[in-house]
Amino acid sequence: MSPTIQTESLAKSFGRTEVLRSIDLAVPEGAIYALVGANGAGKTTMIKLLMNIFPPTAGRAQVLGIDSRKLAGRDFDRIGYVSENQDLPDAMTVGGLLDYMRPFYPTWDRALEQQLVRQFDLPLGRKLKHLSRGMRMKAAFASSLAYRPPLIVLDEPFTGLDPLVRDELIEGLLERAPETTIFLSSHDLAEIESFASHVGYLEDGRMLFSDEMAVLNDRFRDVSITLAAPTPLPPDLPPAWLLPETVDCVLRFVHSEYKGVATDRELAAIFASARDISAEPMPLRSIFLAIAKSSRSHKRAPHIPAADRRSEA
Amino acid sequence: MNQVLNIFRKDTRRFWPEILLSVVLTFAYAAASPNSWKAFHDQNVQQRMMMITGALTFLMMTGWWLLIARVVHAETLVGDRQFWITRPYEWEKLLAAKVLFVAAWIGVPYLLTQSLVRAEAGFSPIANAPILLLNLLMMSTAFLLPLFSVATVTANFARLTLTLLACLAILIGYTFLTNGIPHGYIASNPYPNRVLYPLLFCGCAVAIALEYATRRVWASRAMLIVLPLLLALSAAAHSRQSLVDRAYPRPSAEVAPPVSFALTPSAARPIEARSYEGWDYIDLPFRFSGVAEGYAVVTADMKFTLTAADGSQWTSPWQQTHDHIGPSGHGSILSLQMSPALYDRFKSGPVTLNITFALSHYQADTVTTMPFPTRDQVVPGVGTCTAEGSGLVCRSAHDPRLTYASAVWTNVPCSNSPAPPAATKPGAAWYEPGNIDFALSSVWTPHLYFSGGGDDDTGSRYNWRICSGSPFTVTQYHLMDRTQTSVTLTNFALPAEVRPT
């Protein structure tokens, strides 16, 4: 089965500024793929390249099997795109927007539209310009979900929304998840951790890694080793040990290639005199922080197995 | 088609106030159009009406500008945040919807109102439908299409306005470049520019299609930037001095000139030199005569050569002049333009002055004699005319050909008819079709103002009038050929003093 989204060496520059550098990515069908990264990492540019809003400077992307540069017109029958900074037709009412959009889509589901209107509690008679930010996003969601697109692309959809609205939107999205592939960007790890099946981390225009969430959770461990006596940080630590530090008798690092019992045994062998060795699972946020800090301190990508960086997770 | 109608309906619903404003202004303009052919006996009222018509013309075009800007920017093509660019819009249908909108809410009201205007003027709108459609096409090419194209490459109304102001500045420069050659000599345009409108139409249409198809805004902008340059080049190529030589060939030696010239200085009209805006002008009173019965001559340009006794010579570029000469002859003052330095060089001694005219030779084909009209009377070939002041105000379904009209001035009351010969003098009027290919109003308003009724030694101009029913002759001409003809004045002395004006 071919991926819903696939990129090869995708790059984008604005003048001399490189915004995206050689991105290889594959999003499998049915995935909820979260593209995360700090503000300015290149997430929005990546999405705009995929939606053919910008042409790439180099490389190529395929979306639903179509070269992104040829994506136009009827191709958008199958794509639902919502962005936090999209200019909506503000003079229209919510009902007017739905009425206007309906004839564009052969697959528009009137029952689903009404369900979304109820679910999001949308005021049909109010103009979009008079709606709160949350309500505008809900209206945009409703107009993008009602035709059951096989691909939903969301650019920072939850930014600035209150938790209640955010949960409503996530709920609405997850109801569509079984029939669609969702690709969304976010700079807030906590909001995507609960529902993303795949995650990619973008920093400074580079994809530091792209992986399945479960694999990621399995592979990263917060390792804490209590030694018999205070010991300085040994040189030449394995590259998979991120952010190593010692405090008195305790050596701590993030293990990025944790393989369960095998790794436990390996650590026990290395630190034979250790009084205690623990390897705790990490929340997504901590994993990303570790990767980001490690990357910045080394000015290079942290040690991530090559097979995982170019992942079809 | 559904998508086209869907977008059209959405735009119509959304922009109904702008549509209403535009349609009302179009109707208001049409309602004011008859002012241009009505005879006003009070000049103040006439001026006020002309001002109102002018203001309504401006407002109507502003209404169109607003409407086009709003409808194009509803799905703006510039930027990366528009909601519609990730929706299943097909560019051909989006463009078709916008064109349909402009046609429905600008084109149709314009056609409708102009049909009413023509009906009001007494012309059948159905019979003249091709003229109306051609007028609409020309108006669209000259105004709507450029406006539409600029709207496609700008993000909003403010930017469109700024861009149009910049275009206006360019247009002023373009007009300067094409009408005046360096040093201020202005030659007439011998050929109507047949490249201009097709080039403008195609350039704008391609830029619009390119922008809708690709949204590569800089490519479309580049095209729209290059287009005025092409237009300017085209216009410049059509108004070059050399084209006068091509349009008006030198005659072979054995052909007699269609008109002769004589210098006719008098105490009232001496040969004078004056300076104006850095140039010196020699005003020469001239008498044109010798035009055969049934013919007319119209001068378009002249150039002159000064040859000093020492053999030094200077020839001016072509400069525009405009005199209509009939069989009865015509008196005129020719102003020879030259720089003060040249003037000083040649004024020291007698010179040989050779003046060459570029002129058009016409032959009369219809002559109509009828009583001088009073009100709304048909003058064949000219239109429906009403007497006003010193002439006739007419309305016509088309632009009339070159026309000469003769009438009789009298200084006795019209009730004393017929006036004694001593109390009459001849009056003459010319009408020459304009160079403009179209007008906003589809009714032409040729005016025939008669010379000969002004102040002279026979009394105040207010004593002179043309009475209804008095003899009136209208002659219409067709162009026979264009040629050059010269007159040489030997031992000509430039005036010693140059009078500042």
Task: Decide: helix, strand or coil at residue A228.
Answer: coil
Percent of chain B with pLDDT strictly greater than 90: 38
Is the pLDDT score of B176 beyond 80?
no
pLDDT digit string, tens, across residues B265-309:
888 888 999 988 788 899 999 999 989 989 999 998 899 999 998
Is the pLDDT score of B139 beyond 90?
no
Beta bridge partners, B271, equal: none
In the structure encoding, which two tokens stand for residue A220, read together? 């990263």
The residue written with tokens 């030449």 in the block is A236
| Of the partner residues B3, B14, B86, the one whose CB lies closest to the CB of residue A51 | B86
Name the residue among A235, A276, A239, A233 with its Cα closest to residue A256.
A239
- Please tell me the distance from the alpha carbon of residue A4 to that of residue A64, in angstroms, as a whole number: 5
The residue written with tokens 């264009």 in the block is B482
H and E: helices and strands count for chain B:
12, 17
What count of other Cβ atoms lies within 10 Å of the Cβ of residue B426?
13
Rounded to the nearest angstrom, the minimum Cα separation between A75 and chain B is 7
- Is the minimum CB–CB distance between B10 and chain A shorter than 8 Å? yes
Rounded to the nearest angstrom, the minimum Cα separation between A9 and chain B is 23
Residues of B in Cβ contact (< 8 Å) with A104:
3, 6, 87-89
Residues of A in Cβ contact (< 8 Å) with B13:
96
Residue B311 and residue B390 in one domain: no
Distances (CA, A) of B225 to B199, B207, B218, B222: 14, 10, 10, 5
Rounded to the nearest angstrom, the minimum Cα separation between A107 and chain B is 12
In a domain, B477, yes or no: no
Q: How confident is the model at residue A42 (pLDDT cuts 50, 70, 90)?
A: very high
Residues with Cβ within 8 Å of B357's Cβ and at least 6 positions away in sequence, in order, are B261, B299, B301, B302, B321, B484, B485, B486, B487
Name the residue among B319, B312, B331 with its Cα closest to residue B356.
B319
Q: Which residues of A70-79 are buried (b: 16+ CB within 10 A; e: fewer)?
A: ebbeebbbbb
Residue B331 and residue B384 in one domain: no
Residue B206 and residue B333 in one domain: no
What count of other Cβ atoms lies within 10 Å of the Cβ of residue A67?
11
Name the residue among B63, B263, B255, B55 with its Cα closest to residue B144.
B63
Pairing, β A151-155 against β A79-83 = parallel
The residue written with tokens 């194209």 in the block is B149
- Is the minimum CB–CB distance between A101 and chain B shorter than 8 Å? yes
* Of the candidate ranges A213-222, B131-140, B148-157, B427-436, the one whose mean pLDDT is the lowest: B427-436
- Please tell me the distance from the alpha carbon of residue A36 to that of residue B289, in angstroms, as a whole number: 92
Pairing, β A276-281 against β B447-449 = unpaired
Name the residue among B21, B10, B136 with its Cα closest to residue B71.
B10
Half-sphere exposure for A108 (CA within 13 Å, toward CB): 17
Q: How confident is the model at residue B31 (pLDDT cuts 50, 70, 90)?
A: very high
- Please tell me the distance from the alpha carbon of residue B76 to that of residue B61, in angstroms, as a whole number: 22
Is the pLDDT score of A131 beyond 80?
yes
- Is the minimum CB–CB distance between A66 and chain B shorter than 8 Å? no
Query: What's the pLDDT at B138?
Result: 87
In a domain, B440, yes or no: yes
Specify whether the backbone of B311 is left (phi greater than 0), alpha (psi in -120 to 50) or beta: left
Three-class DSSP labels, B85-139: HHCCCCHHHHHHHHHHHHHHHHHHHHHHHHHHHHHHHCCCCCCCHHHHHHHHHHH
If you average pLDDT over residues A200-215, what whole number do you get? 88
**DSSP label at residue B419:** P
- Please tell me the distance from the alpha carbon of residue A143 to that of residue A205, in angstroms, as a whole number: 31
Is the pLDDT score of B241 beyond 80?
no
Rounded to the nearest angstrom, the minimum Cα separation between B80 and chain A is 6
Radius of gyration for chain A, computed over Cα atoms and rounded to the nearest angstrom: 22
Under an 8 A CB cutoff, do A83 and B74 touch?
Answer: no
Query: What's the pLDDT at B179?
Result: 57
Query: Higher-confidence residue: B126 or B304?
Result: B304
Q: Are B275 and B163 contacting, i.e. CB atoms less than 8 angstroms apart?
A: no
Residue B216 and residue B283 in one domain: no
Residue B13 and residue B159 in one domain: yes
Name the residue among B342, B322, B176 with its Cα closest to residue B275.
B342
Range picked from B5-19, B313-327, B358-372 for highest mean pLDDT: B5-19
Query: What's the pLDDT at A305?
Result: 47
Residue B139 and residue B64 in one domain: yes
* All structural domains of chain A: 5-204 (3.40.50.300), 216-303 (no CATH)
Query: Higher-confidence residue: A303 or A36?
Result: A36
- Is the minimum CB–CB distance between B86 and chain A shorter than 8 Å? yes
Is the pLDDT score of A134 beyond 60?
yes
Report the mean per-residue pLDDT for chain B: 86
The residue type at B85: I
Rounded to the nearest angstrom, the minimum Cα separation between A3 and chain B is 21
Q: Are A202 and A46 contacting, i.e. CB atoms less than 8 angstroms apart?
A: yes
> Domain containing B302 — which CATH number?
2.60.40
Residue B231 and residue B270 in one domain: no
Residues of A in Cβ contact (< 8 Å) with B80:
48, 53-54
Query: What's the pLDDT at A285?
Result: 82
If you average pLDDT over residues B454-481, what whole number do you get? 77
Q: Which structural domain range is residue B280 located in?
A: 260-354+483-500
Is the pLDDT score of B12 beyond 90?
yes
In a domain, B30, yes or no: yes
Give the ipTM. 0.85
In the structure encoding, which two tokens stand for residue A8, read together? 């090869």
- Please tell me the distance from the alpha carbon of residue A249 to that of residue B387, in angstroms, as a whole number: 116
In a domain, B251, yes or no: no
Distances (CA, A) of A54 to A3, A39, A78, A89: 21, 19, 19, 21
Query: What's the pLDDT at A26?
Result: 94
Under an 8 A CB cutoff, do A73 and B88 touch?
Answer: yes
pLDDT digit string, tens, across residues A6-34:
999 999 999 989 999 999 999 999 999 99
Q: Are B369 and B472 contacting, i.e. CB atoms less than 8 angstroms apart?
A: yes
If you average pLDDT over residues B463-467, what whole number do you get? 82
Query: What's the pLDDT at B174?
Result: 67
Query: What's the pLDDT at B454?
Result: 58
Is the pLDDT score of A273 beyond 80?
yes
pLDDT digit string, tens, across residues B351-368:
999 999 999 999 999 999
Name the residue among B296, B303, B304, B318 with its Cα closest to residue B189.
B318
Task: Decide: helix, strand or coil at residue B361.
Answer: strand
Q: Are B400 and B448 contacting, i.e. CB atoms less than 8 angstroms apart?
A: no
Q: Are B459 and B412 contacting, i.e. CB atoms less than 8 angstroms apart?
A: no
* Of the candidate ranges A192-206, B169-183, B463-477, the one whose mean pLDDT is the lowest: B169-183
- Please tell me the distance from the alpha carbon of residue B392 to that of residue B389, in angstroms, as a whole number: 8
In a domain, B37, yes or no: yes
Angle between helices B43-74 and B2-14 (to 10 degrees): 130
Query: Higher-confidence residue: B436 or A107?
Result: A107
Residue B205 and residue B293 in one domain: no
Is the pLDDT score of B458 beyond 70?
no
- Chain A residue with Cα closest to B5: A103
Under an 8 A CB cutoff, do B3 and A53 touch?
Answer: no
- Is the minimum CB–CB distance between A140 and chain B shorter than 8 Å? yes
Q: How confident is the model at residue A100 (pLDDT cuts 50, 70, 90)?
A: very high
Is the pLDDT score of B214 beyond 80?
yes
- Chain B residue with Cα closest to A155: B81
Beta bridge partners, B301, equal: B320, B358
If you average pLDDT over residues B229-256, what whole number do you get? 76
- Phi first, then psi: what are they for B297, rounded to 5°? -130, 135
- Is the minimum CB–CB distance between B83 and chain A shorter than 8 Å? yes
Rounded to the nearest angstrom, the minimum Cα separation between B224 and chain A is 22
Query: Higher-confidence residue: B416 or A188?
Result: A188
* Of the candidate ranges A23-32, A229-238, A280-289, the one whose mean pLDDT is the lowest: A229-238
What count of other Cβ atoms lies within 10 Å of the Cβ of residue B484?
19
> Which of A87, A93, A144 should be substituted to probe chain B, the one whose Cβ sees the most B Cβ atoms within 10 Å?
A87
Domain boundary residue among B213, B243, B273? B243
> Which of B11, B15, B80, B211 should be substituted to probe chain A, the one whose Cβ sees the most A Cβ atoms within 10 Å?
B80
Query: What's the pLDDT at B225?
Result: 87
Query: Higher-confidence residue: A297 or B28?
Result: B28
Q: How confident is the model at residue B258 (pLDDT cuts 50, 70, 90)?
A: confident
- Is the minimum CB–CB distance between A100 and chain B shorter than 8 Å? yes
In a domain, B50, yes or no: yes
- Please tell me the distance from the alpha carbon of residue B339 to that of residue B246, in angstroms, as a whole number: 26
Kindly provide the residue ranges of all beta strands, DSSP E only, lying in B372-412, ordered along the sequence. Answer: 377-379, 383-388, 391-395, 403-410
Q: Are B314 and B342 contacting, i.e. CB atoms less than 8 angstroms apart?
A: yes
Residue B124 and residue B58 in one domain: yes
Name the residue among B327, B326, B304 with its Cα closest to residue B315.
B304
Q: How confident is the model at residue B238 (pLDDT cuts 50, 70, 90)?
A: low
| Of the partner residues A74, A79, A91, the one whose CB lies closest to the CB of residue B86 | A79
| Of the partner residues B2, B83, B91, the one whose CB lies closest to the CB of residue A86 | B83
Is the pLDDT score of B96 beyond 60?
yes
In the structure encoding, which two tokens stand for residue A227, read together? 């030694």
Sheet holding A198-203, edge to edge: A79-83, A151-155, A181-186, A32-36, A198-203, A206-212
- Chain A residue with Cα closest to B73: A89
Q: How confident is the model at residue A307 (pLDDT cuts 50, 70, 90)?
A: very low
Q: Are A294 and A243 contacting, i.e. CB atoms less than 8 angstroms apart?
A: yes
Query: What's the pLDDT at B415?
Result: 76
State the count of interchain CB pairs (< 8 A) between A and B.
53
In a domain, B299, yes or no: yes
Instruction: Note which residues in 23-82 of chain B have CB less than 8 A from chain A.
Output: 74, 79-82
**DSSP label at residue A10:** E
- Please tell me the distance from the alpha carbon of residue B96 to that of residue B89, in angstroms, as a whole number: 12
Query: What's the pLDDT at A312?
Result: 37
Name the residue among B241, B113, B261, B128 with its Cα closest to residue B188.
B241
Specify whether the backbone of A9 is left (phi greater than 0), alpha (psi in -120 to 50) or beta: left
* DSSP3 helix / strand / coil % (chain B, rounded to 5): 40, 30, 30
- Chain B residue with Cα closest to A88: B83
Q: How confident is the model at residue A114 (pLDDT cuts 50, 70, 90)?
A: very high
Residue B339 and residue B447 in one domain: no
Alpha-carbon torsion (B241, B244, B245, B246), positive or negative: positive
Is the pLDDT score of B127 beyond 80?
no
pLDDT digit string, tens, across residues A49-86:
999 999 999 999 999 999 999 999 999 999 999 998 89
Q: Please tell me the total count of domains within chain B.
A: 3
If you average pLDDT over residues A226-230, what whole number do you get? 87
Residue B33 and residue B127 in one domain: yes
Residues of A in Cβ contact (< 8 Å) with B74:
89
Range picked from A121-135, A162-176, B430-444 for highest mean pLDDT: A121-135
Residue B189 and residue B311 in one domain: no
In the structure encoding, which two tokens stand for residue A6, read together? 């696939």
Name the residue among B482, B479, B389, B457 with its Cα closest to residue B429.
B389
Under an 8 A CB cutoff, do B88 and A76 touch?
Answer: yes
Percent of chain B with pLDDT strictly greater than 70: 90
- Please tell me the distance from the alpha carbon of residue B343 to that of residue B275, in angstroms, as a whole number: 11
- Chain B residue with Cα closest to A140: B83
Is the pLDDT score of A194 beyond 60?
yes
In a domain, B297, yes or no: yes
If you average pLDDT over residues B35-56, what whole number do you get? 82
